[in-house]
């Protein structure tokens, strides 16, 4: 799933929309699906334009809406047995200027689709909310047997300017609704907390059988100004809350550490039957200002703590790397029974190339403190300002070989066109250092400024054919209007 660009500005007194790269149609398939459903292991390789594989294209329908800024699977929100998808457009204006919207499409998907024809549209409450900054599956947080969806709006000002909010809408989800009518609203506790800059399903951290939610709030001040925090809400979750109501909080300990800039479930990294949690803190000054770090917390997680109590830590290699802009569970890349993680560092310099970026894989079990250079695998950008690792995600098992795979977004990749972007898939097992140009499978943006790979995710299995599908956002795509944005669903087996 996409983690946002980071805006570093001298004062947090305003909340501007981030400029691209800063830190704060596919034709219908005419073949026979039934004939491919039971095909054994296959291994697609090489580079493809995003218009080549079969699948679906979701087009933003308004100038500057930036559809595809976030993309994610949504579980099965309507209970029909097919996976659904979520596409966020943080600057859509349906609810006011930059209020943002989130579009939900029920699976199976095929052909060209418009955001305005989504099966459900969740509209930001007010101007400058930036709703849809991140959005995705919440699991089943109310225990009713139906999947739920969350939407973040880090600019929400209910408590104060930039306090932020995260909403949950219980499944089934359909039609158009304002997030003011969401089933759950969790508010940032204070102005400029920016709650919802990151959010994710946390799995089941306390082992009670009900899914939990984690919210990042990089501006929280308990550990010092902008030390940041991550807040865990244990399911069942209902009603109107704020981050002070969290069951567990994980605080930064240094001013400007920005703990909670990214958050994700790590899966079960130590194979003890409990889900674990990974939290990014891009301002951690391990080797100088903004080296960045990611902290692992093993489940069960039932009490407050600070990042000093993390079970494992990985830190960037140099000042300004800002390791932890994105974090994600990676599945099990080496098929050893332990979950693995992937960590994006789009501002890492590689072989003298400024902001070429990198993504690091760490295999479970993971303990202790290590540097990024000690990762089990490293995927790097190949040119200055590639920003590889701007988004990272598990990819499922794309080639059906029994090893999970990962996908890495390369925001400013130029292979398709200048800043067209790309998404690079690396098959498991992964090891050593590889460049994104050497990926097993790459999907290239089509036109200048598309910024394909700004968001990437596994879509699960949207069409029910047993193969892993992929989501790739391109928030700069101009298909319907300038920067209207788009998201591609690439179906497994669709080459």
- pLDDT for 405 equals 97
How far apart are the C-alpha atoms of 297 and 289, rounded to whole Å?
24
Rounded CA gap, 258 and 219, in Å? 7
Instruction: Give the pairing type, strands 111-114 and 305-306.
Output: unpaired
Identify each DSSP E strand in 130-193 by its residue range.
135-139, 148-153, 165-169, 175-178, 184-187
Query: Which pLDDT score is estimated for 27?
Result: 29
pTM for the full model? 0.92
d(CA 332, CA 340): 6
Cα(473)–Cα(423) distance, integer angstroms: 9
Q: Which of 110, 107, 105, 109 is CA-nearest to residue 174?
A: 105
Q: Specify the residue for token string 């130029």.
A: 414
Q: Considering only CA atoms, which of 145, 93, 149 is closest in space to residue 116?
A: 93
Strand order in the sheet with 340-345: 326-331, 340-345, 358-362, 377-380, 432-435
Q: CB count, 10 Å around CB of 13?
A: 10
Could you tell me which residues come within 8 angstroms of residue 185 by beta carbon, excluding any fewer than 6 positions away? Answer: 165, 166, 167, 179, 240, 241
Q: Is the dihedral of CA 201, 341, 22, 85 positive or negative?
A: negative
> How many residues are given for the chain?
495
What are the tokens at 156? 């929400």
Q: Are 328 and 394 in contact (CB under 8 A)?
A: yes
Res 466: pLDDT: 84
Question: Could you give the CA distance from residue 491 to residue 437 in angstroms, rounded to a whole number?
Answer: 22
Distance CA 128, CA 95 (A): 9
Task: Note the pLDDT of residue 35.
Answer: 32
pLDDT, tens digit only, all 495 positions of the chain: 444 444 432 222 233 334 444 444 322 333 333 333 343 456 789 999 999 988 999 999 999 999 999 999 999 999 999 999 999 999 999 999 999 999 999 999 989 999 999 999 999 999 999 999 999 999 999 999 999 999 999 999 999 999 999 999 999 999 999 999 999 999 999 999 999 999 999 999 999 999 999 999 999 999 999 999 999 999 999 999 999 999 999 999 999 999 999 999 999 999 999 999 999 999 999 999 999 999 999 999 999 999 999 999 999 999 999 999 999 999 999 999 999 999 999 999 999 999 999 999 999 999 999 999 999 999 999 999 999 999 999 999 999 899 999 999 999 999 999 999 999 999 999 999 999 999 999 999 999 999 999 999 999 989 888 889 999 999 999 999 999 999 999 998 765
CB 110 within 8 A of CB 56: yes
The H or E element spanning position 184 is: strand 184-187
pLDDT computed for residue 439 by the predictor: 98
């Amino acid at each position: 799933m996409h983690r946002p660009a980071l805006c570093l500005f001298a004062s947090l007194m305003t909340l501007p929309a981030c400029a691209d790269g800063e830190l704060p149609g596919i034709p219908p398939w005419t073949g026979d699906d039934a004939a491919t459903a039971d095909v054994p292991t296959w291994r697609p390789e090489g580079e493809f334009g995003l218009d080549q594989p079969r699948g679906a294209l979701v087009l933003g329908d308004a100038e500057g809406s930036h559809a595809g800024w976030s993309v994610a699977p949504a579980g099965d929100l309507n209970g029909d047995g097919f996976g659904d998808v979520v596409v966020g457009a943080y600057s859509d204006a349906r609810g006011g200027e930059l209020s943002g919207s989130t579009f939900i499409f029920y699976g199976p998907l095929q052909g060209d689709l418009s955001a305005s024809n989504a099966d459900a549209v969740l509209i930001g409450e007010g101007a400058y909310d930036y709703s849809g900054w991140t959005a995705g599956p919440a699991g089943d947080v109310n225990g009713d047997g139906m999947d739920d969806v969350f939407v973040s709006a880090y600019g929400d000002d209910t408590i104060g300017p930039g306090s932020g909010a995260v909403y949950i809408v219980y499944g089934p989800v359909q039609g158009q609704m304002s997030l003011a009518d969401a089933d759950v609203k969790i508010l940032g506790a204070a102005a400029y907390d920016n709650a919802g800059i990151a959010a994710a399903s946390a799995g089941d951290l306390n082992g009670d059988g009900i899914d939990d939610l984690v919210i990042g709030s990089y501006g929280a001040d308990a550990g010092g100004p902008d030390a940041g925090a991550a807040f865990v809400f244990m399911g069942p979750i209902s009603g109107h809350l704020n981050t002070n109501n969290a069951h567990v909080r994980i605080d930064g300990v240094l001013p400007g550490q920005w703990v909670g800039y990214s958050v994700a479930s790590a899966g079960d990294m130590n194979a003890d039957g409990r889900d674990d949690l990974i939290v990014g803190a891009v301002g951690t000054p391990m080797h100088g200002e903004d080296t960045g770090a990611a902290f692992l917390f093993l489940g069960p997680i039932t009490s407050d703590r600070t990042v000093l109590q993390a079970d494992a830590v990985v830190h960037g290699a140099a000042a300004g790397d800002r390791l932890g802009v994105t974090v994600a569970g990676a599945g099990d890349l080496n098929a050893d029974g332990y979950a693995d993680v992937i960590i994006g560092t789009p501002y890492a310099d590689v072989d003298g190339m400024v902001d070429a970026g990198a993504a690091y894989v760490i295999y479970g079990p993971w303990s202790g403190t290590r540097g990024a250079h000690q990762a089990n695998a490293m995927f790097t950008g190949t040119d200055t300002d590639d920003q590889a690792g701007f988004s990272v995600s598990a990819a499922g098992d794309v080639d059906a070989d029994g090893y999970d795979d990962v996908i890495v977004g390369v925001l400013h990749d130029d292979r398709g066109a200048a800043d067209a972007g790309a998404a690079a898939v690396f098959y498991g097992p992964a090891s050593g250092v590889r460049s994104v140009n050497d990926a097993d499978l790459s999907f290239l943006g089509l036109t200048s400024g598309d910024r394909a790979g700004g968001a990437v995710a596994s879509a699960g299995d949207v069409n029910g054919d047993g193969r892993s599908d992929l989501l790739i956002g391109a928030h700069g795509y101009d298909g319907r209007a300038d920067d209207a944005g788009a998201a591609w669903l690439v179906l497994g087996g669709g080459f």
